[in-house]
Amino acid sequence: MGKSILIVDDDELMRSFLGTVLKEEGHRTEEAGNGQEGLAKLLAGEFDLVITDLRMPDFSGLELMREGKKEKPDIRWIIVTAFGSIGNAVEAMKAGASDYLTKPFHNPDELRHVIRRVLREIESARTISLLTEELGKQFPPTEMIFLGKEMNSIHRLVREVAPTPATVLITGPSGTGKELIARMIHQWSPRKERLFMAIPCAALAESVLESELFGHERGAFTGAVATRKGRFELADGGTIFLDEIGEIPLSVQVKLLRVLQERELERVGGTKSILVDVRVISATNKDLKAEISSGRFREDLFYRLNVFPITLPRLLERREAILPLANFFVAKFAQAFGRKISGFTAPAKSALMEYEWPGNIRELQNIIERAVILAGGEIDVYHLNLESTSEPSTSAEGLLKMNERETIRKVLAEAEGNRKRAAQILGISLRTLQYRIKEYGL
Protein backbone atom coordinates (compact mmCIF):
# COMPACT_ATOMS: atom_id res chain seq x y z
CA MET A 1 0.00 0.00 0.00
CA GLY A 2 1.38 3.38 -1.02
CA LYS A 3 2.49 5.93 1.55
CA SER A 4 2.12 9.71 1.70
CA ILE A 5 5.52 11.37 1.26
CA LEU A 6 6.53 15.05 1.43
CA ILE A 7 9.52 16.12 -0.72
CA VAL A 8 11.27 19.34 0.37
CA ASP A 9 14.06 20.67 -1.87
CA ASP A 10 14.88 24.04 -3.43
CA ASP A 11 16.08 22.26 -6.60
CA GLU A 12 13.09 21.76 -8.90
CA LEU A 13 14.84 19.05 -10.94
CA MET A 14 15.64 17.09 -7.79
CA ARG A 15 12.02 17.36 -6.59
CA SER A 16 10.80 16.15 -9.96
CA PHE A 17 13.22 13.21 -9.99
CA LEU A 18 12.28 12.13 -6.46
CA GLY A 19 8.58 12.52 -7.22
CA THR A 20 8.83 10.40 -10.37
CA VAL A 21 10.65 7.55 -8.62
CA LEU A 22 8.23 7.58 -5.68
CA LYS A 23 5.12 7.62 -7.87
CA GLU A 24 6.51 4.67 -9.83
CA GLU A 25 6.66 2.88 -6.48
CA GLY A 26 2.97 3.62 -5.89
CA HIS A 27 3.33 6.42 -3.32
CA ARG A 28 1.49 9.75 -3.06
CA THR A 29 3.73 12.82 -3.02
CA GLU A 30 3.59 16.53 -2.25
CA GLU A 31 6.40 18.96 -2.94
CA ALA A 32 7.74 22.09 -1.25
CA GLY A 33 10.42 24.42 -2.68
CA ASN A 34 11.88 25.56 0.65
CA GLY A 35 11.96 24.78 4.35
CA GLN A 36 9.25 27.23 5.43
CA GLU A 37 6.83 25.95 2.79
CA GLY A 38 7.76 22.39 3.77
CA LEU A 39 6.98 23.06 7.43
CA ALA A 40 3.61 24.60 6.57
CA LYS A 41 2.64 21.60 4.42
CA LEU A 42 3.92 19.19 7.04
CA LEU A 43 1.81 20.74 9.80
CA ALA A 44 -1.29 20.97 7.59
CA GLY A 45 -1.17 17.47 6.10
CA GLU A 46 -0.75 13.82 7.02
CA PHE A 47 2.52 12.23 5.93
CA ASP A 48 4.32 8.97 6.62
CA LEU A 49 7.73 10.17 5.45
CA VAL A 50 9.57 13.42 4.68
CA ILE A 51 12.52 13.52 2.27
CA THR A 52 14.31 16.84 2.65
CA ASP A 53 17.46 18.43 1.32
CA LEU A 54 19.88 19.31 4.10
CA ARG A 55 21.01 22.68 2.72
CA MET A 56 18.31 25.17 1.78
CA PRO A 57 18.64 28.97 1.80
CA ASP A 58 15.94 29.93 4.29
CA PHE A 59 15.51 26.95 6.57
CA SER A 60 17.82 23.94 6.65
CA GLY A 61 16.57 20.36 6.48
CA LEU A 62 17.90 19.82 9.99
CA GLU A 63 15.90 22.77 11.34
CA LEU A 64 12.84 21.55 9.45
CA MET A 65 13.16 18.10 10.99
CA ARG A 66 13.60 19.46 14.51
CA GLU A 67 10.54 21.71 14.19
CA GLY A 68 8.48 19.00 12.53
CA LYS A 69 9.28 16.42 15.19
CA LYS A 70 7.92 18.71 17.90
CA GLU A 71 4.42 18.54 16.37
CA LYS A 72 4.53 15.17 14.59
CA PRO A 73 7.07 12.92 16.28
CA ASP A 74 5.98 9.72 14.50
CA ILE A 75 6.88 10.85 10.97
CA ARG A 76 10.07 9.31 9.51
CA TRP A 77 12.78 11.44 7.88
CA ILE A 78 15.34 10.90 5.11
CA ILE A 79 17.97 13.62 4.70
CA VAL A 80 19.50 14.36 1.27
CA THR A 81 22.98 15.86 1.32
CA ALA A 82 25.89 16.50 -1.02
CA PHE A 83 28.60 13.86 -1.10
CA GLY A 84 31.10 16.12 0.66
CA SER A 85 28.80 16.83 3.65
CA ILE A 86 28.59 13.38 5.24
CA GLY A 87 29.35 14.90 8.66
CA ASN A 88 26.12 16.90 8.47
CA ALA A 89 24.23 13.75 7.56
CA VAL A 90 25.61 12.01 10.63
CA GLU A 91 24.43 14.97 12.73
CA ALA A 92 20.97 14.57 11.18
CA MET A 93 20.93 10.86 12.03
CA LYS A 94 21.76 11.71 15.64
CA ALA A 95 18.86 14.20 15.64
CA GLY A 96 16.43 11.49 14.60
CA ALA A 97 16.62 10.93 10.83
CA SER A 98 15.98 7.36 9.73
CA ASP A 99 18.54 7.48 6.92
CA TYR A 100 20.34 9.79 4.52
CA LEU A 101 21.06 9.90 0.78
CA THR A 102 24.05 11.51 -0.92
CA LYS A 103 23.70 13.37 -4.20
CA PRO A 104 24.26 13.23 -7.05
CA PHE A 105 22.40 9.89 -7.30
CA HIS A 106 24.25 7.40 -9.47
CA ASN A 107 21.39 4.90 -9.53
CA PRO A 108 17.65 5.29 -8.78
CA ASP A 109 17.79 1.83 -7.14
CA GLU A 110 19.84 3.37 -4.34
CA LEU A 111 16.95 5.73 -3.60
CA ARG A 112 14.39 2.92 -3.89
CA HIS A 113 16.35 0.68 -1.51
CA VAL A 114 16.62 3.33 1.23
CA ILE A 115 12.95 4.35 0.94
CA ARG A 116 11.73 0.74 0.99
CA ARG A 117 13.77 0.02 4.11
CA VAL A 118 12.49 3.09 5.96
CA LEU A 119 8.89 2.33 4.93
CA ARG A 120 9.31 -1.25 6.23
CA GLU A 121 10.36 0.28 9.55
CA ILE A 122 7.18 2.38 9.52
CA GLU A 123 5.04 -0.72 8.97
CA SER A 124 6.92 -2.61 11.70
CA ALA A 125 6.45 0.26 14.16
CA ARG A 126 2.72 0.42 13.39
CA THR A 127 2.37 -3.33 13.78
CA ILE A 128 4.14 -3.16 17.13
CA SER A 129 1.92 -0.26 18.21
CA LEU A 130 -1.22 -2.21 17.28
CA LEU A 131 0.06 -5.31 19.06
CA THR A 132 0.88 -3.28 22.15
CA GLU A 133 -2.61 -1.75 22.12
CA GLU A 134 -4.15 -5.19 21.62
CA LEU A 135 -2.08 -6.62 24.46
CA GLY A 136 -3.36 -3.86 26.69
CA LYS A 137 -6.91 -4.98 25.89
CA GLN A 138 -6.23 -8.70 26.19
CA PHE A 139 -4.18 -8.90 29.35
CA PRO A 140 -4.69 -7.67 32.91
CA PRO A 141 -2.91 -4.56 34.21
CA THR A 142 0.68 -5.02 35.36
CA GLU A 143 -0.21 -4.81 39.05
CA MET A 144 -2.72 -7.65 38.62
CA ILE A 145 -0.35 -9.84 36.61
CA PHE A 146 2.18 -9.68 39.42
CA LEU A 147 -0.34 -9.82 42.26
CA GLY A 148 0.77 -11.84 45.29
CA LYS A 149 3.97 -12.69 47.09
CA GLU A 150 5.03 -15.35 44.57
CA MET A 151 4.78 -12.94 41.65
CA ASN A 152 6.45 -9.99 43.37
CA SER A 153 9.83 -11.63 42.95
CA ILE A 154 8.99 -12.44 39.30
CA HIS A 155 8.15 -8.78 38.71
CA ARG A 156 11.55 -7.76 40.08
CA LEU A 157 13.35 -10.29 37.87
CA VAL A 158 11.49 -9.15 34.75
CA ARG A 159 12.27 -5.50 35.46
CA GLU A 160 15.96 -6.30 36.05
CA VAL A 161 16.51 -8.43 32.95
CA ALA A 162 14.37 -6.46 30.45
CA PRO A 163 16.87 -3.62 29.75
CA THR A 164 19.74 -6.08 29.22
CA PRO A 165 20.46 -8.23 26.13
CA ALA A 166 20.50 -11.42 28.25
CA THR A 167 18.91 -14.63 26.95
CA VAL A 168 15.95 -15.66 29.14
CA LEU A 169 14.45 -19.10 29.81
CA ILE A 170 10.91 -19.05 31.27
CA THR A 171 9.70 -22.28 32.83
CA GLY A 172 6.44 -23.24 34.50
CA PRO A 173 3.27 -25.29 33.98
CA SER A 174 1.03 -24.76 30.94
CA GLY A 175 -1.27 -21.76 31.17
CA THR A 176 0.81 -19.73 33.64
CA GLY A 177 1.46 -16.87 31.19
CA LYS A 178 4.94 -17.58 29.87
CA GLU A 179 4.36 -15.78 26.56
CA LEU A 180 2.85 -12.80 28.37
CA ILE A 181 6.00 -12.48 30.51
CA ALA A 182 8.17 -12.76 27.37
CA ARG A 183 6.18 -9.94 25.73
CA MET A 184 6.57 -7.78 28.83
CA ILE A 185 10.34 -8.30 28.81
CA HIS A 186 10.37 -7.17 25.18
CA GLN A 187 8.13 -4.15 25.85
CA TRP A 188 10.35 -3.01 28.73
CA SER A 189 13.55 -3.43 26.70
CA PRO A 190 15.43 -1.12 24.31
CA ARG A 191 14.17 -3.40 21.51
CA LYS A 192 10.50 -2.52 22.04
CA GLU A 193 10.29 -0.55 18.77
CA ARG A 194 11.36 -3.62 16.80
CA LEU A 195 9.54 -6.88 16.15
CA PHE A 196 8.56 -9.51 18.71
CA MET A 197 8.13 -12.89 17.01
CA ALA A 198 6.58 -15.87 18.80
CA ILE A 199 7.36 -19.32 17.37
CA PRO A 200 5.28 -22.32 18.57
CA CYS A 201 8.05 -24.91 18.24
CA ALA A 202 5.85 -27.92 19.03
CA ALA A 203 3.34 -27.02 16.32
CA LEU A 204 5.84 -27.17 13.44
CA ALA A 205 7.38 -30.24 11.80
CA GLU A 206 11.18 -30.48 11.83
CA SER A 207 11.67 -29.41 8.19
CA VAL A 208 9.18 -26.57 8.50
CA LEU A 209 10.63 -25.36 11.80
CA GLU A 210 14.15 -25.17 10.38
CA SER A 211 12.97 -23.13 7.40
CA GLU A 212 10.78 -20.90 9.60
CA LEU A 213 13.65 -20.06 11.91
CA PHE A 214 16.56 -19.78 9.51
CA GLY A 215 14.97 -19.26 6.09
CA HIS A 216 15.83 -21.12 2.89
CA GLU A 217 17.40 -20.56 -0.51
CA ARG A 218 15.58 -21.11 -3.77
CA GLY A 219 15.64 -24.80 -4.70
CA ALA A 220 16.72 -25.92 -1.21
CA PHE A 221 13.86 -28.44 -1.18
CA THR A 222 10.74 -29.32 -3.15
CA GLY A 223 8.44 -26.32 -3.09
CA ALA A 224 11.19 -23.77 -2.34
CA VAL A 225 10.47 -21.71 -5.46
CA ALA A 226 12.01 -18.54 -4.04
CA THR A 227 14.55 -17.48 -1.44
CA ARG A 228 12.85 -16.76 1.88
CA LYS A 229 14.11 -15.05 5.01
CA GLY A 230 13.61 -16.86 8.31
CA ARG A 231 12.22 -15.44 11.53
CA PHE A 232 15.67 -14.63 12.89
CA GLU A 233 16.44 -12.40 9.90
CA LEU A 234 13.01 -10.77 9.95
CA ALA A 235 13.30 -10.06 13.69
CA ASP A 236 16.79 -8.56 13.38
CA GLY A 237 17.11 -5.97 16.13
CA GLY A 238 14.08 -7.39 17.93
CA THR A 239 13.10 -10.42 20.01
CA ILE A 240 12.38 -14.06 19.16
CA PHE A 241 10.20 -16.05 21.57
CA LEU A 242 10.68 -19.81 21.20
CA ASP A 243 7.69 -21.39 22.89
CA GLU A 244 7.93 -25.05 23.94
CA ILE A 245 11.67 -25.06 23.29
CA GLY A 246 11.92 -28.59 24.72
CA GLU A 247 10.11 -29.94 21.64
CA ILE A 248 12.64 -28.91 18.98
CA PRO A 249 14.57 -31.77 17.33
CA LEU A 250 18.31 -32.23 17.84
CA SER A 251 19.13 -31.24 14.24
CA VAL A 252 17.53 -27.83 14.77
CA GLN A 253 19.12 -27.50 18.22
CA VAL A 254 22.59 -27.53 16.59
CA LYS A 255 21.70 -24.59 14.32
CA LEU A 256 20.06 -22.68 17.16
CA LEU A 257 23.18 -23.12 19.28
CA ARG A 258 25.24 -21.50 16.52
CA VAL A 259 22.92 -18.48 16.41
CA LEU A 260 23.23 -18.04 20.17
CA GLN A 261 27.02 -18.48 20.17
CA GLU A 262 28.07 -16.73 16.97
CA ARG A 263 25.07 -14.49 16.23
CA GLU A 264 25.05 -15.82 12.69
CA LEU A 265 23.13 -18.39 10.65
CA GLU A 266 22.90 -20.08 7.28
CA ARG A 267 19.64 -20.48 5.41
CA VAL A 268 18.54 -23.99 4.52
CA GLY A 269 20.35 -24.87 1.30
CA GLY A 270 22.69 -21.88 1.64
CA THR A 271 26.41 -21.46 2.29
CA LYS A 272 26.57 -17.76 3.17
CA SER A 273 26.78 -16.75 6.84
CA ILE A 274 24.25 -14.09 7.81
CA LEU A 275 24.79 -11.98 10.92
CA VAL A 276 21.73 -11.36 13.10
CA ASP A 277 21.10 -9.29 16.21
CA VAL A 278 18.18 -10.96 17.97
CA ARG A 279 17.37 -11.44 21.62
CA VAL A 280 16.15 -14.96 22.38
CA ILE A 281 13.53 -15.69 25.04
CA SER A 282 12.44 -19.31 25.30
CA ALA A 283 9.84 -21.14 27.36
CA THR A 284 9.00 -24.70 28.33
CA ASN A 285 6.86 -26.70 30.73
CA LYS A 286 9.34 -29.58 30.53
CA ASP A 287 12.21 -30.45 32.85
CA LEU A 288 15.06 -29.75 30.44
CA LYS A 289 17.65 -31.37 32.73
CA ALA A 290 15.67 -34.61 32.50
CA GLU A 291 15.54 -34.15 28.72
CA ILE A 292 19.32 -33.77 28.71
CA SER A 293 19.74 -37.00 30.70
CA SER A 294 17.55 -38.85 28.21
CA GLY A 295 19.56 -37.48 25.27
CA ARG A 296 16.70 -35.45 23.80
CA PHE A 297 18.17 -32.03 24.55
CA ARG A 298 21.69 -30.68 24.16
CA GLU A 299 23.38 -29.68 27.39
CA ASP A 300 25.41 -26.91 25.71
CA LEU A 301 22.20 -25.40 24.27
CA PHE A 302 20.52 -25.53 27.67
CA TYR A 303 23.29 -23.46 29.25
CA ARG A 304 23.09 -20.93 26.41
CA LEU A 305 19.32 -20.60 26.89
CA ASN A 306 19.37 -20.65 30.69
CA VAL A 307 21.43 -17.48 31.18
CA PHE A 308 18.59 -15.83 33.12
CA PRO A 309 15.97 -18.34 34.33
CA ILE A 310 12.47 -17.31 35.43
CA THR A 311 10.09 -19.90 36.89
CA LEU A 312 6.38 -19.07 37.00
CA PRO A 313 4.21 -20.49 39.82
CA ARG A 314 0.94 -22.37 39.40
CA LEU A 315 -2.26 -20.40 39.92
CA LEU A 316 -2.90 -22.40 43.11
CA GLU A 317 0.31 -20.96 44.57
CA ARG A 318 -1.13 -17.47 44.24
CA ARG A 319 -4.78 -17.90 45.25
CA GLU A 320 -5.09 -14.20 46.11
CA ALA A 321 -4.99 -13.51 42.36
CA ILE A 322 -7.86 -15.86 41.41
CA LEU A 323 -10.84 -13.59 42.11
CA PRO A 324 -9.22 -10.37 40.79
CA LEU A 325 -8.28 -12.18 37.57
CA ALA A 326 -11.77 -13.71 37.33
CA ASN A 327 -13.33 -10.25 37.70
CA PHE A 328 -10.99 -8.86 35.04
CA PHE A 329 -12.00 -11.61 32.60
CA VAL A 330 -15.69 -11.02 33.37
CA ALA A 331 -15.36 -7.34 32.47
CA LYS A 332 -13.37 -8.18 29.34
CA PHE A 333 -15.80 -10.77 27.96
CA ALA A 334 -18.93 -8.95 29.06
CA GLN A 335 -17.83 -5.98 26.98
CA ALA A 336 -16.85 -8.22 24.04
CA PHE A 337 -20.18 -10.09 24.03
CA GLY A 338 -22.42 -7.17 25.00
CA ARG A 339 -23.55 -8.85 28.23
CA LYS A 340 -24.43 -7.22 31.55
CA ILE A 341 -22.81 -9.26 34.33
CA SER A 342 -22.94 -7.98 37.90
CA GLY A 343 -20.37 -10.42 39.27
CA PHE A 344 -20.30 -13.79 41.03
CA THR A 345 -22.59 -15.33 43.61
CA ALA A 346 -20.97 -16.31 46.93
CA PRO A 347 -21.05 -20.06 46.04
CA ALA A 348 -19.40 -19.29 42.69
CA LYS A 349 -16.60 -17.37 44.42
CA SER A 350 -16.06 -20.27 46.81
CA ALA A 351 -15.96 -22.73 43.91
CA LEU A 352 -13.37 -20.61 42.10
CA MET A 353 -11.18 -20.47 45.21
CA GLU A 354 -11.46 -24.18 45.97
CA TYR A 355 -10.90 -25.49 42.44
CA GLU A 356 -7.49 -27.07 41.64
CA TRP A 357 -6.91 -25.17 38.34
CA PRO A 358 -4.85 -27.73 36.44
CA GLY A 359 -4.86 -25.39 33.42
CA ASN A 360 -3.88 -22.34 35.47
CA ILE A 361 -4.70 -18.81 34.17
CA ARG A 362 -5.55 -20.03 30.66
CA GLU A 363 -8.16 -22.40 32.09
CA LEU A 364 -9.55 -19.63 34.31
CA GLN A 365 -9.93 -17.35 31.31
CA ASN A 366 -11.67 -20.03 29.23
CA ILE A 367 -14.10 -20.93 32.03
CA ILE A 368 -15.01 -17.29 32.65
CA GLU A 369 -15.54 -16.70 28.92
CA ARG A 370 -18.02 -19.61 28.82
CA ALA A 371 -19.74 -18.45 32.00
CA VAL A 372 -20.25 -14.93 30.64
CA ILE A 373 -21.91 -16.40 27.53
CA LEU A 374 -24.26 -18.55 29.63
CA ALA A 375 -25.02 -16.24 32.55
CA GLY A 376 -27.62 -13.51 32.72
CA GLY A 377 -26.87 -10.98 35.44
CA GLU A 378 -24.84 -12.94 37.99
CA ILE A 379 -22.50 -15.87 37.47
CA ASP A 380 -23.44 -18.88 39.61
CA VAL A 381 -21.68 -22.18 40.24
CA TYR A 382 -23.49 -24.05 37.51
CA HIS A 383 -22.34 -21.49 34.90
CA LEU A 384 -18.73 -22.34 35.75
CA ASN A 385 -19.13 -26.09 35.24
CA LEU A 386 -15.89 -26.83 37.10
CA GLU A 387 -14.57 -30.36 36.92
CA SER A 388 -12.87 -31.09 40.24
CA THR A 389 -9.50 -32.82 40.23
CA SER A 390 -9.90 -33.93 43.83
CA GLU A 391 -13.38 -34.14 45.33
CA PRO A 392 -16.08 -35.49 42.99
CA SER A 393 -18.67 -33.64 45.03
CA THR A 394 -17.75 -30.35 43.34
CA SER A 395 -18.05 -31.65 39.76
CA ALA A 396 -21.16 -30.94 37.69
CA GLU A 397 -22.76 -34.27 38.64
CA GLY A 398 -21.74 -33.80 42.28
CA LEU A 399 -23.46 -30.42 42.39
CA LEU A 400 -26.63 -32.01 41.03
CA LYS A 401 -26.50 -34.68 43.69
CA MET A 402 -26.17 -32.08 46.46
CA ASN A 403 -29.01 -29.90 45.31
CA GLU A 404 -30.26 -31.17 42.00
CA ARG A 405 -33.82 -29.98 42.09
CA GLU A 406 -33.02 -26.34 42.93
CA THR A 407 -30.13 -26.18 40.50
CA ILE A 408 -32.20 -27.57 37.62
CA ARG A 409 -35.10 -25.26 38.45
CA LYS A 410 -32.87 -22.17 38.34
CA VAL A 411 -31.18 -23.23 35.11
CA LEU A 412 -34.48 -23.98 33.40
CA ALA A 413 -35.79 -20.58 34.43
CA GLU A 414 -32.69 -18.86 33.07
CA ALA A 415 -32.86 -20.86 29.83
CA GLU A 416 -36.55 -19.88 29.55
CA GLY A 417 -37.58 -23.53 29.51
CA ASN A 418 -35.16 -24.46 26.69
CA ARG A 419 -34.09 -27.95 27.83
CA LYS A 420 -31.26 -28.30 25.33
CA ARG A 421 -29.63 -25.07 26.47
CA ALA A 422 -30.20 -25.96 30.13
CA ALA A 423 -28.45 -29.29 29.58
CA GLN A 424 -25.47 -27.45 28.02
CA ILE A 425 -25.26 -25.10 31.00
CA LEU A 426 -25.37 -28.01 33.45
CA GLY A 427 -22.83 -30.01 31.46
CA ILE A 428 -25.09 -33.08 31.20
CA SER A 429 -26.88 -34.81 28.33
CA LEU A 430 -30.39 -33.83 27.31
CA ARG A 431 -31.60 -37.37 28.18
CA THR A 432 -30.19 -37.07 31.72
CA LEU A 433 -31.84 -33.69 32.17
CA GLN A 434 -35.21 -35.01 31.00
CA TYR A 435 -34.93 -37.90 33.44
CA ARG A 436 -34.21 -35.48 36.32
CA ILE A 437 -37.07 -33.18 35.31
CA LYS A 438 -39.47 -36.12 35.44
CA GLU A 439 -37.98 -37.40 38.72
CA TYR A 440 -38.39 -34.03 40.48
CA GLY A 441 -41.72 -33.11 38.90
CA LEU A 442 -40.34 -30.02 37.15
Tens digit of pLDDT for each residue in 273-321? Answer: 899 999 999 999 999 999 999 999 999 999 999 999 999 999 999 999 9
- For residue 260, pLDDT over 60 is answered with yes
- Of 29-43, 78-92, 252-266, the range with the lowest mean pLDDT is 78-92
Output the pLDDT for position 1. 58
DSSP symbol at 312? P
Residue 180 CB contacts under 8 Å (≥ 6 apart), including other chains: 139, 145
**Mean pLDDT value of segment 352-360:** 92
- For residue 259, pLDDT over 90 is answered with yes
SS (H, E, C) 118-149: HHHHHHHHHHHHHHHHHHHHHCCCHHHHCCCH
**Mean pLDDT value of segment 422-431:** 76
| pLDDT interval class at 271 (50, 70, 90) | confident
- Helix, strand, coil percentages, rounded to 5, for the chain: 55, 15, 30
Tens digit of pLDDT for each residue in 315-338? Answer: 999 999 999 999 999 998 898 888
Distances (CA, A) of 350 to 131, 322, 380: 35, 11, 10
- For residue 231, pLDDT over 60 is answered with yes
Output the pLDDT for position 391. 39
Output the pLDDT for position 302. 96
- For residue 389, pLDDT over 50 is answered with no
**Mean pLDDT value of segment 363-385:** 88
Distance CA 356, CA 316 (A): 7
| Residue 300 CA from chain centroid, whole number | 29
Query: What is the topology classification, in CATH, of domain 4-124?
Result: Rossmann fold (3.40.50)
Enumerate the domain spans of the chain: 4-124, 139-313, 316-440
Residue bearing the bigger pLDDT, 216 or 123: 216
Q: Are strands 279-284 and 377-379 parallel, antiparallel or unpaired?
A: unpaired
Distance CA 372, CA 364 (A): 12
| pLDDT interval class at 392 (50, 70, 90) | very low
Distance CA 206, CA 406 (A): 54
- Of 77-91, 143-157, 186-200, 261-275, the range with the lowest mean pLDDT is 77-91
Output the pLDDT for position 394. 40
The percentage of residues in the chain with a pLDDT greater than 90, rounded to a whole number, is 36
Output the pLDDT for position 368. 93
| DSSP string covering 27-79 | -EEEEESSHHHHHHHHHHS--SEEEEES--SSS-HHHHHHHHHHH-TT-EEEE
Q: Which CATH class is domain 316-440?
A: mainly alpha
| pLDDT interval class at 159 (50, 70, 90) | very high
| pLDDT interval class at 402 (50, 70, 90) | very low
- For residue 73, pLDDT over 50 is answered with yes
Output the pLDDT for position 401. 47
- For residue 233, pLDDT over 70 is answered with yes
**Mean pLDDT value of segment 185-213:** 87
In terms of average pLDDT, the best of 130-144, 174-188, 382-396 is: 174-188
The answer to whether the CB of 360 falls within 8 A of the CB of 174 is yes
Residue range 139-313, CATH number: 3.40.50.300
Output the pLDDT for position 95. 74
Whether 316-440 and 139-313 are alike in CATH topology: the answer is: no
Output the pLDDT for position 126. 57
The answer to whether the CB of 380 falls within 8 A of the CB of 348 is yes
- For residue 124, pLDDT over 70 is answered with no
